[in-house]
Amino acid sequence: MEVRVGITQSMKELEVEFPDGTDREALQKQVEDALHAETVLWMTDRKGRRVGIPSQRIAYVEITNSTERVVGFGTA
């Protein structure tokens, strides 16, 4: 599973890749709770790295189940 987080006042987005079998609903609830409480959203990627994002800076969150990468100009 891959999560993309847009950061306000930044042109880059943060991409975090989670291990297979990550519970999508639990992750979505974690994001919603951090946004509601205005705290830091902490996520741990598949390599064990922890990423913290202040919820006030989150512009959007995109959660996708596909870890498949498309290369080139072809269509899937």
pLDDT score, position 21: 87
pLDDT digits (tens, 9 = 90+) for 13-27: 999 999 888 899 999
If 0-12 CB within 10 Å is exposed, 13-18 middle and 19+ buried, where does residue 41 land?
A: buried
pLDDT score, position 51: 93
pLDDT surpasses 70 at 52: yes
What is d(CA 66, CA 72) in angstroms, rounded to the nearest whole number?
A: 17
pLDDT score, position 41: 94
pLDDT score, position 4: 94
